[in-house]
Amino acid sequence: METAIKRIVILGPESTGKSTLCKELTEYFQTTWVPEYAREYLLRQESRYGFEDLKKIAEGQLQLEDQIISSHVSSPRIQACPIFIDTDMYVMKVWSEYVFNACDNSILTSIATRNYDLYLLCYPDLPWVPDPLREHSEEKERMKIYHYYKDAMINQTVPWVEIKGDYQKRVEDAINAVKLLFQ
């Protein structure tokens, strides 16, 4: 689906402020965002997830992204504003490879066929915030996962910016990176 909407993905390891950053950016730019579908999916699950669940989560994330963008595509104001996406198929790829040492081909195909305008990669320098859905609280693990994301960003062609520091600095740096898209 081709639109004039700028699509900006926020990604990174767990507990790096991705959802908070999406909310802040959405408020600043007076636009909308696509939340992380995995959270909704996993909260409905009564058992631990498996490899096959990651494909379902990926499909749900893409459907949610398409629904939200489609519902806003006719608005001239939204056309001139970015839309923020909390998670994309790179997140699904990293998670698949980190947890299961494999990635479903449909996720890889989506990475190759989806178009985004900017990635904001959140560095794991914020304090860990416990959450029943989070799994990797150790700093060493968080850094290892971060490097999976950084490797993915280095090896693709969409511009990306590393976001680090306290919450205020993250928001300021993200706003500046987004503004550059519109210059």
Q: Hey, where are the domains in the chain?
A: 6-181
pLDDT confidence of residue 2? 43
Phi, psi of 83 (to 5 degrees): -120, 140
3-state secondary structure of 7: strand
Please give the pLDDT value at position 139.
79
> What residues in the chain have per-residue pLDDT under 50?
1-3
* CA 144 from centroid of its chain's CA atoms: 18
* Separation of CA 35 from chain center: 9
Cα–Cα distance, 15 to 134 (Å, whole number):
8
The structure's pTM equals: 0.90
The per-residue pLDDT for 39 is: 82
CA dist 79 and 69 (Å) reads 10
Whether the CB-CB separation of 136 and 13 falls below 8 Å is answered with yes
Q: Could you give the 3-state DSSP secondary structure of residue 16?
A: coil
Write down the pLDDT at residue 1: 38
Q: For the domain with range 6-181, which CATH number is right: 2.70.210.12, 3.40.50.300, 1.10.1530.10, 3.10.440.10?
A: 3.40.50.300
| pLDDT given for residue 114 in this prediction | 95
- Asked if 104 and 30 count as a contact pair (C-beta separation under 8 A), the reply is no
CA distance 87 to 62: 10
pLDDT of residue 183: 82
